[in-house]
Amino acid sequence: MNKQKRLLLSALITAVIAGLGYYVVLPPINIYAQAFWGSLAFVVLVFGAAYVLIGSKAAVKTFFSGKGDKGFADKTAEKKKKTRERIVFFVCLGIPVVVLIVGNLLSSTFFNATAYSTIIEVPEAVFEEDMPENDIVTNIPLMDSASANIIGNRKLGELSAVVSQYQVNGTYSQINYGGIPRKVSSLEYVDFFKWLNNRDAGVPGYVSVDPVNSSADYVEFETPIKYTDSAYFEEDLNRTLRFSYPTKIFGTTMFELDEEGNPYYIVSCLSPKVGLFGGMDVSEVIIFNPCDKTSELYSVSDTPSWVDNVFSGSLASQKYDWYGTLQNGYWNSVIGNKDCKVTTDDYGYIVLGDDVWFFTGVTSVVSDESNIGFIISNARTGEYKFYPVVGAEEYSAMGAAQGHVQEKGYTASFPSLINVSGEATYIMVLKDANGIVKMVALVNVENYTIVATGSNQQEAKQAYLEELRREGILGDDEEESPSEEEAPKPTEISFVVKEIRFLTTAGETFIYLTGDDGNIYKKQVSEDESVLFIKGNDLIEGTYLETENKGIYQLVTWERYLAPGQGE
């Protein structure tokens, strides 16, 4: 076989293998992606192997046996030819390898400490102004994703026709939906055969978890999803995105809902801020419709306001760590550690205005026993704020809350920060061994020995205020905080019971009474077990409080009057 045919056949085999590899691995065709250069090195290796193995019969024989039948002059010429081919091969292979090594070196923090430390700006803000006190915290998702997954799976388990074919995606997106924090996760096909059987029908719905009240709902899509992580071949989400955007470096892909409840995947696209590979940050956003495969590309600044997840919490923390450790140079971050500060190793969420923000503490590199402040970072815009609130770091507060109810063996979720009578306070939930939320805990940031717990937010807050008075932080004349004085008072109500239902959420049973006025009134059974005696057509008089759900009210006090013909 002559050289031209050998090269052509080697190129053909390489193209087939490279095409299959691209279809499976899906690397971006972008010089700023390390995966691109790694793939290029793989292609060169495949071509070299094919070229060696596809030679003349003598070349193959020589390759395997080390013997040949050429004369001395021919052997010398062949040797020189092979030497030139080896040089060309190793040069082609060396280019992507050298780019990877040199590119990483020149993009490292060692040479670019200042560039890394200036990727973000972190202005100082006033805690009391940005986080005013609220009587009931409704903008903080107290439940973590692990507990949301448990509740979501239980809700799906109630739907026998769905659970046999689909499962909940283990990744929950934190969104602000209608001003209320929600954790949402689309359903996925269980396996290849379930996809094959259901691909025409698509994915029918998603699970929506209320992380404040520990409840879950299954919601069906108006139009089922066709393109998803668990689909295969041309319906695989990552493959569809790569073929539509072959040069983009993808970051996180998050499931979200727009204001009308339509499903979308929000895909962040990364680009380096330092050198060839360093300081990867979000530069663009793809909004992908998984129902009809359409998509739009936006710059970060032009991203629609309904989108909540452009930046990830881990990226937000990493960028702050660069900012906090490298401002005085690389060697100071390694040896001196002067003024070096980092985030704690987890984060929570808080909803402010229309946006979801990440929340995490900031501690000195030389001491992780306490925080020197807190940061919040906007998950859509990437904006940062720093609050110089000194106190215990999150894990110390979690330990204090767990110790307060140690006989129950509960574990604490990662906390968030609230304002209680001007005191910076951690708020978190306590979970049992099954991951079910059982209690709410409040821990003082400045003095984490001040701990209060309760079965709900109101109970925990009242106990916490008592602890603050006992410690002399609040005076006796401060019987109520400003927010409590302004809190809505219970409203009197009178209605006839038309329907009674019971619902168990997070281990607690609630009675729901539908009145003749069309409203629904709920009461936790464990708070007053006498509600079990209520029957249809009973007249109920008492008081209620508004909830975040329109038409559903919290029954505070009540008196039951029997319907005609009834007896005790």
One-character DSSP codes across 358-398: EEEEEEETT--SEESEEEEEETTT--EEEE---EE-HHHHH
**Nearest alpha carbon to residue 432 among 150, 139, 141:** 150
Residue 477 pLDDT > 80? no
**Nearest alpha carbon to residue 244 among 269, 216, 281:** 269
* Six token digits for residue 407: 């006989």
Contact 43, 92 (CB under 8 A): no
Contact 364, 340 (CB under 8 A): yes
Contact 423, 468 (CB under 8 A): yes
The per-residue pLDDT for 481 is 45
Which is more confident, 436 or 444? 444
Long-range contacts (CB closer than 8 Å, 24 or more residues apart) made by 112-116:
112/274, 112/275, 112/278, 112/279, 113/326, 113/329, 113/330, 113/333, 114/326, 114/329, 115/273, 115/274, 115/278, 115/279, 116/274, 116/278, 116/279, 116/322, 116/323, 116/326
Please give the angle made by the CA atoms of 397, 401 and 406, to the nearest 5 degrees: 140
**Nearest alpha carbon to residue 408 among 539, 290, 507:** 507
What is the mean predicted confidence (pLDDT) over 422-442?
Answer: 89
* Six token digits for residue 184: 């949402």
Burial, 7: exposed, middle or buried (Cβ in 10 Å; 0-12, 13-18, 19+)?
A: middle
Residue 365 pLDDT > 50? yes
Task: Categorize the per-residue pLDDT at 292 as very low, low, confident or very high, splitting at 50, 70 and 90.
Answer: very high
Collapse the DSSP code of 292 into the 3-class scheme (helix H, G, I; strand E, B; otherwise coil) and give the result: coil
* Number of CB atoms found within 10 A of residue 67's CB: 8
Residue 336 pLDDT > 60? yes
How remote is the C-alpha of 444 from its chain's centroid? Answer: 27
Contact 253, 227 (CB under 8 A): no
pLDDT, one tens digit per residue, over 209-248 is 888 777 888 899 999 999 999 999 999 999 999 999 999 9
The per-residue pLDDT for 486 is 47
Please give the angle made by the CA atoms of 46, 47 and 49, to the nearest 5 degrees: 65
Find the range with the poorest average confidence among 128-137, 199-208, 387-396: 128-137
Residue 479 pLDDT > 50? no
Residue 485 pLDDT > 50? no
Contact 187, 162 (CB under 8 A): yes
Place of tokens 């190129």: 11
Q: What is the mean pLDDT of the chain?
A: 87
pLDDT above 90 covers what percent of the chain?
A: 50
Side-chain half-sphere exposure of 144, counting CA atoms within 13 A? 17
List % helix, strand, coil for the chain (3-state, nearest 5).
35, 30, 35
Residues 6+ apart with CB under 8 A from 96: 37, 38, 40, 41, 44
Burial, 69: exposed, middle or buried (Cβ in 10 Å; 0-12, 13-18, 19+)?
A: exposed
Place of tokens 């059974």: 525
Collapse the DSSP code of 300 into the 3-class scheme (helix H, G, I; strand E, B; otherwise coil) and give the result: helix
What would you measure as the largest C-alpha separation in the chain, in angstroms?
120
Task: Categorize the per-residue pLDDT at 313 as very low, low, confident or very high, splitting at 50, 70 and 90.
Answer: very high
What is the mean predicted confidence (pLDDT) over 30-41?
Answer: 96
* Number of CB atoms found within 10 A of residue 397's CB: 27
Contact 152, 214 (CB under 8 A): no
pLDDT, one tens digit per residue, over 493-543 is 999 999 998 877 655 678 889 999 888 998 888 778 888 888 888 899 998
* Alpha helices by DSSP H, 471-504: 482-486
What is the mean predicted confidence (pLDDT) over 388-406?
Answer: 91
The per-residue pLDDT for 148 is 82
pLDDT, one tens digit per residue, over 60-105 is 555 445 455 555 555 676 677 778 878 888 999 999 999 999 999 9
Contact 514, 520 (CB under 8 A): yes
Give 227's DSSP letter.
-
Which is more confident, 553 or 80? 553
What is the mean predicted confidence (pLDDT) over 345-353?
Answer: 87
The per-residue pLDDT for 230 is 93
Contact 456, 406 (CB under 8 A): no
Distance CA 338, CA 52 (A): 57
pLDDT, one tens digit per residue, over 144-192 is 777 888 888 888 877 777 878 899 888 899 998 877 888 999 999 999 9
Distance CA 228, CA 220 (A): 16
The per-residue pLDDT for 483 is 45
491-561 has which CATH code? Answer: 2.40.50.140
Place of tokens 């390759």: 63
**How would you classify the pairing of strands 416-420 and 370-371?**
unpaired
Contact 386, 122 (CB under 8 A): yes
**Nearest alpha carbon to residue 358 among 329, 337, 387, 383:** 383
**How would you classify the pairing of strands 411-412 and 391-392?**
unpaired
Residue 473 pLDDT > 90? no
